[in-house]
Structure 1
Amino acid sequence: MFQQLFNDFITGLQFLTRIRLVTQVDCSQDSFRRSVKFFPIIGCLIGLLLSGIIYGLQLLGSGKIPSHVMACSLILIEILLTGALHCDGFMDTMDGIFSGRSRERILEIMKDSRVGSFGVIAFCLFALMKYSFILDMDSSLLALAFLVMPIVGRLAIVMAVTLFPYARREGLGKSFSYHADRRTLYIAGLCAGVILALLGRLALLSSLFGLIFAYIFAEYVNKRLEGLTGDIYGAVNELTELAVLFVFTCS
């Protein structure tokens, strides 16, 4: 039992990040399904790494590291840590959604490995907004924000996976959507809720705002495409993280 849980956790960790702990792991559809409940915990590990880097830079730099360098570095480190997985999904989603085409054509555009102008423009604006939020945020909240942000982002993915149908007949994301159920959401929500409650009121407030924003976006896309895809899961994560940062910046 413990070995299966460990394998499922590793499946999720090595899919969502570039962290490699083992060379071989059970990557069956059942393992992908079971790994979904670990997404917020994986997000917590990502957050601990990011907040640890922030704390180290602030401690060692003693305020001498320029804020612009800090902001750019954090965005770059997060992208490297996740292998730009969610960024790719975000760009593909924006290419499709803003194309103004039919459902079938939108899905075709999103499946195309090439990035279009809408995706590039959207990602540039997204990165600019994240950069601005980091600069404008109280530096004492930065480590906490980057701890909370990936937890809520991955919980939003679980919400998207379990609450909405899958738009395609096949695809990697279907391994998550087809097999995961409400029980998965309850487990993931409980794990995330306990962690976030320990982090304080601002963590809970930003989480609530981020999840509401994620649900509204997912519902909008679901109405247009009659379901979600793996790319949209990535977009949900990125937009949720941005919403969390917005709350921390405005607090």
Structure 2
Amino acid sequence: MRAMLAPLVAAFGLLTRLPMPRSVTPDARDLGRSVALYPLVGAVIGAILAAAAMALSHVHYDLAAPLLVALWVWLSGGLHLDGLADATDAAVGGMGDRERALAIMKDPYVGPMGVIAIVLTLLLMTGGAKVLLLWGDPWLFVCAPVAGRCALSALFVTTPYLRADGMGAEQARRAPKAAVWLAILLGLLACGALGGLRSAAALILFLPLLWLLRRRLMRRFGGFTGDIAGALLTQSETTFLILLTVSLSIG
């Protein structure tokens, strides 16, 4: 039982604020296995958002959309937005110097470029949430969280971790690649199926953009850290949300 529960506790404990049983303490192996469960975490977050969208169905979308985004951020504890801010500051302030960029990411303070990145992301998420509310299918809220966490799982099994002594390095090394790729495939297929042809079109456009995001990451940093992982998740999640809402708008 513990062998099944511990990776779940590790995945949800790292990526959400949802309460987990304190009696289960994941070890290094569990952390590695948890990478295959990240798409499931996205599905649970999306299901909570879908339920909240149903509950807010009689609230005007101008208020309901930011409330849903606030819940979205709260569910992850803002951890990924923090990573986005740190990675943005590092990318701009590093000026092409990888060591300088990594040093900037360790700085606990957020610079103006990081703040701008957070504000723009929240604006895009709010606009996307408004479109989904107007479309009237709350289950579409599942797609972006799943896509973002599929991207995170893929990052762990395709990209070197930059800090050998970090928790992420051991996690990436122990991640079961076959199980991770199967989880990614199932997660992306679910994203493509939930909204029919429109979500399938968003998925087709999303995959090459995700490849470009990773390629840019490798050119700039040569690998990833926890902050970079958070940035990639946030960018992937927001990108899929934008693609989906554009597809719905012009369909």
TM-score in terms of structure 2 length: 0.90
After TM superposition, list the pairs within 5 Å mapping 1:25-64 onto structure 2: 25-58=24-57, 61=58
**Is 1:7 matched up with 2:6?**
yes
Q: CA RMSD in A?
A: 1.9
Matched, 1:19 2:18: yes
Verify the 8 A CA contact 1:214 1:240 in the aligned structure 2. yes
**For residues 96 and 118 of structure 1, what CA distance do their matches in structure 2 show?**
9
**Which residue of 2 is the match for residue 246 of structure 1?**
242
Equivalent residue for 2:114, pick from 112, 119, 123: 119
Aligned mates of 1:26, 1:208 — CA distance in 2: 39
Q: 1:173 to 1:210 in 2, by over 3 A?
A: farther
Asked if the contact 1:37/1:158 (under 8 Å) is kept, the reply is yes
Of the candidates 181, 186, 189, which is equivalent to residue 191 of structure 1? 186
Is the aligned partner of 1:178 residue 2:173?
Answer: yes
Task: Answer yes or no: is 1:105 the counterpart of 2:100.
Answer: yes
Q: Unaligned 5+ residue runs, structure 1?
A: none
| Number of matched pairs | 245
Query: Partners in 2 of 1:109 and 1:74 — Cα distance?
Result: 32
Cα offset, 1:175, TM superposition: 3.0
1:75 matches 2:69: yes
Q: Is the 8 A contact 1:40 1:188 kept in 2?
A: yes
Show the counterpart of 1:150. 145
Q: Which is further off, 190-199 or 95-104?
A: 190-199
Is contact 2:96-2:220 (8 Å) kept?
Answer: no
Find the partner of 2:80 among 80, 86, 93.
86
**TM superposition shift of 1:194:** 4.9
Q: Following the alignment from structure 1 to structure 2, what is the Cα–Cα distance between the partners of residues 220 and 34?
A: 27
* Counterparts of 2:91 and 2:85, CA distance in 1: 10
1-structure distance, mates of 2:134, 2:55: 13
CA–CA distance in structure 2, aligned partners of residues 204 and 239 of structure 1: 19
Moved more, 194-203 or 66-75: 194-203
Q: Percent identity?
A: 27
- Residues 65 and 129 of structure 2 are in contact (CA less than 8 Å); yes or no, is this contact kept in structure 1? yes
Cα offset, 1:135, TM superposition: 3.1
Give, as a single letter, the amino acid of the residue that structure 2 aligns with 1:33.
G
Q: Which runs of 5+ in 2 are unaligned?
A: none
Give the deviation of 1:220 after TM superposition. Answer: 0.8
Contact 1:157–1:233 (CA under 8 A) maintained in structure 2: yes
Query: Alignment partner of 1:98: what SS?
Result: helix
Output the CA distance in 2 between the equivalents of 1:105 and 1:247. Answer: 34
Following the alignment from structure 1 to structure 2, what is the Cα–Cα distance between the partners of residues 147 and 136? Answer: 14
1:97 alignment partner, SS class: helix
